[in-house]
Chain A
Amino acid sequence: MMKPSDEQLAELTLKDKKNFNPLVNKYAPKIRVFIARIIGNWQEAEDLTQETFFRAYRGIASFNPKLKFSSWLYRIAHNQAVNYIKKNYRFKTVEFSEEIKNKFFDEKDILETVYEKENAEEIKKALFKLNSSSREILELAFFEEKSYLEIADILEISVNSVGPNIKRAKDKLKHILEEKHGKFNRKN
C-alpha cells in the first residue's frame, strides 16, 4: 500500500487525530530550527513550534490541498516568528545565542551552495548580521531548498518577487562581508 502524502494526511486528520502524528514527527524539528534561525532564540523557538502545530491542527480544515502541506505549515511558522519579532525586537536587532549559532552551522552549508567554500566561515558570521526577513528568505531558498513557488506561498509574496528578494538578501550579505574584509572573493 502506498504511503499517504502529507496533503492526504492533513485531510485525514479531520477524521482521525492520529493522522496528524506523522506530520508532527516529520516537521517539528525542522520547524523549530526554521523559527530559531529567524528569532535567534532556541527555547522560544520550541514554544513557537508548539504554537505553530497547535494552530495548524486547529485550522487543519482550512488547509487547501492545492497548496503543499509543508508550505502551509511554514507559513504558520513564519507568521509566528514574525509576530514574535514584532513583539520583542521592534526597536532592537535579534541577538543570537551561541547555541543557535552552533545549530545554524550544523545544518547544510549555505555557503557551498551560494558562494565559494573558502569564504564559508565569514559568510556564516555575516548571516547573523542580516535582518530577519533577508535571513529567512536565504534560509528557505538554500537551507530548506524550497522552490520559488513554495517560498511565494510561505511568505505570501508574488512568485516573480522571490528571485529579486533572494538577490537583495545575497547582496546585503555580500555588502556586510565587503565592509569588513574589502572586496568579497566571489567567483560566480
Chain B
Amino acid sequence: MENLTEKINKKIKNTKPIPKWEFVSWEIFKDASIIALFILTVFLLGITIYLANNYNPWEKINFEPTYLWHSFLTTPWELFITIIVLFILIYFLARKIHFAYRFNPLLFALIILILASLGFSVAEMTGLNKNLAETMPIKNIYLSQGRLVAKTRGVVTIGKIKAIKNGNLIVTDNLGNNWTVVISKTNVLGDKVIRIGDVIIINGLKKGNIIEATIIKKMPENWRGKKSSSYFFRIIRVNI
C-alpha cells in the first residue's frame, strides 16, 4: 500500500508549476483593479456629495413629512449604494494583498475612508466634482428617473394649461392662480406635445405672475385624480 508521500509524489509527477509571470500578471491586475476601483469610488463620492448638496433642497432643512419625503426621493440613493458596494469590494480585495490582512481591520477601513476623503477634497478643490456632475452620463441618471435638473433656483408649480397666448402658456395652478409661462427657453421633458387641458409641472424663475420656465413636463394621462406628490417631489432645484 502506498504511503501518503508516495501518493503525493505520484500526483505531482506529471505536473509543472505555473510560471511565475502568470502570478506576477495576476498580482499587477489585482493591484490595478483596486486602484481603479478606488479612483472610481472617490469620483462617485464627490459627485454624490455634490449632487446631495446642490440638487436637493437640503439648504432648507426642516422635519415636515413632505420635506423628508422630498429629500428621500431626491437623494441619489443609487450612487450611495454603489459607493458602499465599492468600498466593501475595495476593502475585501485590498485585505487579500500584500499582507494587508495582518493589520487591524478597523484601522484598515479607516485608512481607506481617509484616503477617499482626501481624494474627494482634491476633486472638490479642482472643481472636478461639479464638472462631472454636470456631464451627461451622470445627469442622465436623474433625467431618466424624472428627477428634473434645472440650472436655476426656481419655483415649482403644477397647473392646467387654460390657453396659449403669444407663444406663452396660460396655466392655472391648484390654488386657482393664473400664471403666464414663458416657454421660449424651456427644456420640455418627456412628451413634447403639449395641448390645452394638459396638466404640467413647471420649474423656472417667477416674476410677478410670469414664470420663465426652465423645464416643463407633462403629467401622464392617468395622473389626474391621483396624488401628485411623487411628481412634485422629484423636481430638483439647483443652486448656481
Contacts and interface: CB of A to CB of B under 8 A. Distances in A.
B101 interface: yes
A24 B105 contact: no
Contact of B8 (A14, A50, A61, A152): A50
Interface in A10-57: 13-14, 17, 20-21, 24-25, 28-29, 32, 46, 49-50, 53-54, 57
A54 B15 contact: yes
A153 interface: yes
| Interface size band for B | 20 to 34
**What is the predominant secondary structure among interface residues of chain A facing chain B?**
helix
B12 A57 contact: yes
B20 interface: yes
**What is the predominant secondary structure among interface residues of chain B facing chain A?**
helix
Contacts of A17: 12
Given A156-B96, A158-B102, A58 B17 contact: yes
B96 A59 contact: no
A35 to B, nearest CB: 11
B101 A157 contact: yes
Contact of B17 (A14, A28, A153, A161): A14
| Interface size band for A | 20 to 34
A57 B16 CA distance: 8
B18 interface: yes
A28 B99 CA distance: 25
A28 B105 CA distance: 33
B15 A46 contact: no
B19 A28 contact: no
26 contacts: A24-B8, A24-B9, A28-B8, A32-B4, A49-B8, A50-B7, A50-B8, A53-B12, A54-B11, A57-B12, A58-B15, A59-B23, A61-B22, A61-B23, A62-B20, A66-B99, A149-B102, A153-B102, A156-B96, A156-B101, A157-B101, A158-B102, A158-B103, A158-B105, A158-B108, A159-B103
Interface of B: 4-5, 7-9, 11-12, 15, 17-20, 22-23, 95-96, 99, 101-105, 108
